[in-house]
Amino acid sequence: MIRDALLACGIAMSYAVRLSIPGLPFGYSELFLALWILLSIVRVLAGGRLEFTPALAQLARFWLILTLALSVGTIVGYLTTVLFIAPLMHDTMAYVLLVFITCLAAAEPDAGRRLRNTGWWIIAVANACFVVQLGLGWGWIHQSGVNPWYWDRFSGWSDNPNQLALYCALLGPLALHLAVTTRNPWGRCLGLTSLILTFYVGRLTKSDTYLYTTILACLILLGLRIRAWLAIDGGKVSLSRQIALLFTVAFVPLAISVAPYALGDAASAENFAKSLTKDKGGQATAETAELRLYLWDEALDKGARSGSLGLGPGPHLERPPITNQQFLPRPFEAHSTILDLYTQGGLISVMALLWILGSAALSAWRARLDALVALMVSIVVFSAPHLIIRHPIVWFSVTLCLVAGTPQAIPAIVRQRRY
């Protein structure tokens, strides 16, 4: 239980970069994760058992491929450009930390149960932290050196609102999965209640990506639940199922028939959609879109110039030509997981990432764990305009999906035949 709590605290507080330990160059999240890794290694050295699971095999292949791709990229970067050591070491240490977390978690005996326990701890710790941060935001609590607002956007303990929005986007489907798959009524109540607080904090961040991610995940989850409902009892014919199937089949022609009436009120619908975004679709939204398009174009150019081999870990873009660019870090990130990874490890690393994300989503799909499918959709959608590959909650979610949708262990006889 202690190890589960440590891992949960490390994952749930990974965005809290403003909570630093006085006199140390790292925060509480890194401390908790390092302690969990240390205790896990001590358990193994003391004779603890490890299981060779299909999830572990997939994660090990991915990290091996990514390591080779980043190593080649680092060599190319050393020969062709100027490498910044500080961000290179930062990303390298982050990747090493994630390798230990994912592989050790997947190799635990009864990994599925342990990951579920850790998931409950994550939800509990995250909600407790949200309550404290909301207290800071509304002035009920004071913490020296912490301003929980980024202009009018809520950032809490994170460096920027988008980091907090990512955790809200993933904590929602995770809590829903735990709630609908538990038999404990109190646990179900905790999981469903936490959705309210998570959504409230997510909307305070005013992240457009969080809004789009949540809407798409809810629509996909709704479709999957309808599919599961229609398949209950072997899909036996009943009046309610016939009505639902009729509405499903008739949805497209019905949408086409009402299109002229909907277009007549398009201005109202557009204004409503804009009201949900930050700055109501105004200058802030337009500037963000312009900046991202510029960075994505530069990332594609950088990656292509490296022969699609990458330039090694860390950001590689120059400061964008925008107002107050002197305050931006250098080098700069593309703020897109695919494109940032393309500049780091080239095309091979991108293909490896798509493979592991696709494997996790397919595992959740085969296991008919609809909330986990929505969780993977949230990861994919949020990764498009943001760099999220270094966040532990992303890899905890991937590991959870892989473990939940695959057998717990490969028998020794099968291992001998395969290897």
Per-residue pLDDT of the chain (419 residues; tens, 9 = 90+): 788 899 999 999 999 988 888 777 778 899 999 999 999 999 989 888 888 889 999 999 999 999 999 999 999 999 988 888 888 998 999 999 999 999 999 998 888 899 999 999 999 999 999 999 999 999 898 888 888 998 889 999 998 899 999 999 999 999 999 999 998 888 899 899 999 999 999 999 999 899 999 999 998 888 887 777 766 655 455 555 555 555 555 555 645 554 554 444 444 434 434 444 455 555 556 666 777 788 888 889 888 998 999 999 988 887 776 655 544 566 678 889 999 999 999 999 999 999 999 999 999 999 889 999 999 999 999 999 899 999 999 999 999 999 988 766 555 434 444 43
Report the distance separating Cα 307 and Cα 414, nearest Å: 40
Q: What is residue 282's three-state secondary structure?
A: coil
151-157 LR contacts (CB < 8 Å, sep 24+): 152/206, 153/204, 153/205, 153/206, 153/207, 153/278, 154/201, 154/204, 154/205, 154/206, 155/205, 156/15, 156/16, 156/129, 156/130, 156/201, 157/13, 157/15, 157/16, 157/17, 157/18, 157/19, 157/129, 157/133
Cβ atoms 63, 103 nearer than 8 A? yes
Tokens 């590959």 appear where? 389
Q: What is residue 20's three-state secondary structure?
A: strand
Report the distance separating Cα 29 and Cα 52, nearest Å: 28
Tokens 């941060």 appear where? 133
Per-domain boundaries in the chain: 2-236+277-418, 237-276
Cβ atoms 119, 174 nearer than 8 A? yes
pTM of the full structure: 0.86
Report the distance separating Cα 86 and Cα 80, nearest Å: 18
The pLDDT value given to residue 258: 47
Report the distance separating Cα 393 and Cα 251, nearest Å: 37
Retrieve residue 333's tokens. 């990130």
Report the distance separating Cα 327 and Cα 114, nearest Å: 44
The pLDDT value given to residue 318: 79
